Structure 1
Amino acid sequence: MKLMNKYIRKSLVLAVIAAAGFAMISCEDEPDKYEVADGVPTVRYIRSPKASASDSLIVAATTGSSICLVGDNLRSIYELYFNDKKAVLNNSFMTDHTMIVDVPQTIPTLVSNKIYMVTQSKDTVTYDFEVTVPAPTLTAMSCEYAPVGSEVSIIGNYFVDDPNVPLLVTLPGNVEVKDFTSISQSSISFVMPECSEEGTIDVTTIYGTTTSTFHYLDTRGMLFDFDGVTGLGNHGWHARDIISDATSISGKFVQLGDGTSAMTEDGAWDDTHFAFEYWCGSWDTPQNVTSGDGIALHNLVDFTDYVDMSLKFEMYVPSTNPWSAGAMQICFEGYDKVTISGYAIEGYNGTIAGPNAKAFNGEDGLGDYGRALYRPWTTNGSFDTGNSWITVTIPLKNFNYTRQGAMATEVPSSPGDFASLTFFVVGGGVNGTECTPIIKLDNIRAVPNK
């Protein structure tokens, strides 16, 4: 036994020595490991990081752009500032003679038009360089149908409210916003003034003016306003409530859920309360898909550039009935997937399907057909719109999920695939918590992204 213990102790000692030796060898095997250099840096010039423009020297750049410093001993740079804003250094793009770095997105508070290079020993070297701020960018409006007197926000970047040149927001009809509630670099909030005209919005700062791609009171590409376009919208197996009430934003809307019907944690099938469908066509022979109730949606709205389009709609989820389970599945379908009758269509020689949910469900060999899955409750476990309406935007290129949230094997790939439309809160592949949601939808439209 003593001999065995001695052997074990000796083996452990040898193992420790071997491990230590391996660790030292491992360190020695990293000759290219990045280390901050001593001394101070020298910048000879700054150029574009693109090889095609590497001979173009630059003395200024906009926030968020990439630049390349060229000089000597640049690995001695421990911290880098543009004016008073610290840059993020990536040592994968740092050598003794070049450094690629992004100009910080944040607008400088104190403008000196200098780069400050700080070494590990706190020595500072400066280099003259101007950071320019672009004109504002406008990404979205919290509600494109915001009623008068409501608070609304514009989301984007570079919203600068300079004391000498105040930020200006101009609505359609040359209506100027006066009552701002907050302004930050990425958001503007204000009380909606009287404005009844549809159109774009301008935001002007000291750095320029930008016109929105989105429209206030947008009617472009309108599919369902539930007040006249394509009838009331119901056109399929089920009739959904088309109503108006004290919450109405622009007339009637369609409502999913009645406030008492349960949505199970896995979003079980309930087409009685949580589905809205519009299947094109008629009971005529041949079917009428070119006009009236049952018109194919691609005959109502031009989907030629569907790749650069988005589906938009206004949505209201009251705080009394939040949404915490099930995915809103939004599915466009062509004649080969569904029509109201399945009868012939003049001028169309392809497959014509009758009323069914097979493509939606991926049944009978129809595969996994793409649709959008919208489930905002997954961020915090529950979702409501704070008793107000919001605008939801979903790019048509994102209609690429199966019913259970996997990537689809077939997606809408031509204008003809946008003939019918189904909204159905069901499944989605992510469990939530049982709820009794109310989801109101209005102004369903397909609009260009730019």
Structure 2
Amino acid sequence: MKTLNKTILLLIIAVAMVGSFAGCKKEDLLNGGQPRINYIRITNPASSDSLLVGAAQGNLIAIVGENLGDAKSIWFNNQPATLNPTYITNTSILVNVPAPIPTVITNKLKIYFANGDSLLHNFQVQISKPSITSMTSEYVNTGDVATINGNFFYAPLTVKFTGGVSGEVVSVTDKILQVRVPTGAQPGPITITTNFGETKSDFWFRDDRNIFISSDPFEGWNTKSFVVTDPGPGDPPKINGNYIRVTRKLGDWPYTEVADGPASAMPIHSKRIPDAAILSPKDYNLKFEINTLKPYNANIIKINAGTNVQDNDNYQWKPPYDSKGQWQTVVIPYEEVIASYKVRPVVDPNGYWSMLLIHGPGALDADICFDNFRIVPKINK
């Protein structure tokens, strides 16, 4: 008897649930069943009152309205969105704004329904202007191809160099842009312009500011033999005057002074580090160009950049690194460099100790070129 009663109770509950569901469906069909969008909002429940008139590519949005359950497709401008039936009800649709850029801009979304009807609504896809993060090498010769890294490189676009000249775009994807360096390009930021905005780089192309180790002219102690003044067969091309090349087989813990000296031995370069970098290193980067014709895969490259005395232990730029025979720019936050020194540097109007030392564990078959050691601002102000 108990089993029979239990079965009857379950049947009653099931019938009640079906009736309730059907009632909800009827209730949802408002306005004579005509689809309508009341508003669009973000999907975070804590911010459900944040209404939208536009959203960026890839963002998840909630379309809230009436009689939306039969939606079969949604287009933003001329790009289709991907719909998941699980996230479609009569009163709302959850959908991601398409990531591909539209080729026709209408600033509208359009919902198509199973019965052939459609619904148009004003909505702007907020397409990002270019973002420029770095160049593979900040020094590239005229006529050669420079690689710019970033995002939102949407064709058609232009790349303008300081000096007012534009480069020929060789290839472009969303995140990598290659451009041929034009005659007349000068040291300074580059500017990239698309249909969706314009951005100026924080870094400088051919950045000639605050260079404290260079070979133009050579300064320092007993390392002039490393300087390449007239490249021959097998030498990399010059990118900014003379450069340093180390070609030696180095064993464990060599003491190879590549470039070094106190302020008195480097009277020009030692005074080029700005006071602001010593006082606020978090606002600056240490940068240099490197070209490894053989991999840097052992030993340690140690750098003094703005120290008041010689420090043979830090900063340590450790392997591995391999530029595969191409010039590349290395970027190190200057606060990491300063934090590595035993004694924090202080401002010295007479200049600073500078050093590039190879000294560490592991045998290294070295063939490495260096140029343009500099301390430069992270952001252009």
- Is the 1:84–1:108 Cα contact (8 Å) retained in structure 2? yes
Residues 69 and 141 of structure 1: is their aligned pair in 2 closer, same or farther, counting only changes over 3 Å? same
| Distance in 2 (alpha carbons) for counterparts of 1:52 and 1:393 | 40
Q: Tell me, yes or no, if structure 1 residue 278 matches structure 2 residue 256.
A: no
Percent identity for Structure 1 against Structure 2: 24
Kept in 2: contact 1:240–1:276 (CA 8 A): no
Say which of 62, 68, 76 aligns to 2:56. Answer: 62
Decide which of 287, 308, 324 is 1:384's aligned counterpart: 324
CA distance in 2: counterparts of 1:146 and 1:45, whole angstroms: 51
Q: Any idea what the Cα deviations from partners look like across 1:161-219, whole Å, max 9, x if unmatched?
A: 24xxxx22222221122x33212222221222212532222222112222222222221
Q: Is the 8 A contact 2:130 2:151 kept in 1?
A: yes
For 1:84 and 1:316, locate their aligned partners in 2 and report how far apart those are by CA, in whole Å: 44
Q: Is the 2:41–2:61 contact (alpha carbons within 8 Å) kept by the matching residues of 1?
A: yes
Alignment of 1:172 with 2:147, yes or no, is no
- CA shift, 1:399, in A, is 3.7
C-alpha distance in structure 2 between counterparts of 1:147 and 1:215, whole Å: 14
Alpha carbons of 1:438 and 1:99: their partners in 2 closer, same or farther (altered >3 Å)? farther
Post-superposition Cα deviations, 1:365-384, rounded to whole Å, max 9, x if no partner, equal xxxxx65546334xxxxx41
**How much has 1:439 moved relative to structure 2?**
1.2
Give the Å deviation of 1:60. Answer: 0.8
Please say if 1:250 is aligned against 2:243.
no
Distance in 1, Cα, partners of 2:374 & 2:93: 47
Task: Pick the structure with greater CA Rg.
Answer: 2
User: Is the contact between residue 276 and residue 423 of structure 1 (CA under 8 Å) also seen in structure 2?
Assistant: yes
Asked if 2 retains the 8 angstrom alpha-carbon contact of 1:314 and 1:391, the reply is yes
Counterpart selection for 2:141 from 143, 147, 159 = 147
Distance 1:87 1:412, change over 3 A: farther
Does 1:423 pair with 2:356?
yes
1:321-360 correspondence to structure 2 within 5 Å? 321-332=294-305, 334-335=307-308, 339=309, 355=310, 357=312, 359-360=313-314
Whose strand proportion is higher, 1 or 2? Answer: 2
**C-alpha spacing 1:278/1:42, structure 2 compared with 1 (3 Å):** farther
Which of 182, 187, 202 is equivalent to 1:213? 202
CA distance in 1, matches of 2:260, 2:345: 19
Distance 1:69 1:227 in 2: 61
C-alpha spacing 1:389/1:442, structure 2 compared with 1 (3 Å): same
Give the structure 1 partner of residue 190 of structure 2. Answer: 201
> Is 2:249 aligned against 1:261?
yes
Q: 1:298 and 1:356 mapped to 2: Cα distance? A: 17
Q: Which amino acid in 1 is paired with 2:258? A: F
Q: Distance in 2 between matches of 1:325 and 1:195?
A: 40
Q: Aligned with 1:307: secondary structure?
A: helix
Distance 1:98 1:220, change over 3 A: farther
Separation in 1 of the partners of 2:213 and 2:139?
A: 15
SS at match of 2:249: coil
Distance 1:242 1:398 in 2: 28
User: In the TM superposition, what is the alpha-carbon distance from 1:400 to its structure 2 partner?
Assistant: 8.3
CA distance in 2 between counterparts of 1:411 and 1:131 reads 52
1:239–1:112 Cα change, 3 Å: same
- Residue 261 of structure 1 and its aligned partner are, at CA, apart by 0.8
| Partner of residue 312, structure 1 | 287
SS of structure 1 residue aligned to 2:365: coil
RMSD: 5.0
Give the Å deviation of 1:389: 2.1
Instruction: Kindly provide the CA deviation profile for residues 87-125 of structure 1, in whole angstroms up to 9, marking residues without a partner as x.
Output: 899x9xxxx99999875654345767566999xxxxx99
Note the C-alpha offset of 1:159: 1.8
Residue 199 of structure 1 aligns to a residue whose secondary structure is: coil
Q: 1:104 to 1:419 in 2, by over 3 A?
A: farther
User: Are residues 282 and 85 of structure 1, via their aligned partners in 2, closer, same or farther at CA, if it must alter by over 3 Å?
Assistant: farther
* Structure-1 separation of matches of 2:190 and 2:372: 19
Greater mean deviation of Cα atoms: 48-57 or 185-194: 48-57
Quick check: 2:299–2:318 contact (8 Å CA) kept in 1? no
**Distance in 1 (alpha carbons) for counterparts of 2:378 and 2:83:** 32
**Change beyond 3 A, Cα 1:80–1:416:** farther
**Aligned residue number for residue 32 of structure 2:** none
The question of whether the paired residues in 1 share the 8 Å contact of 2:301 and 2:316 is answered with: no
User: 1:302 deviation in Å?
Assistant: 4.5
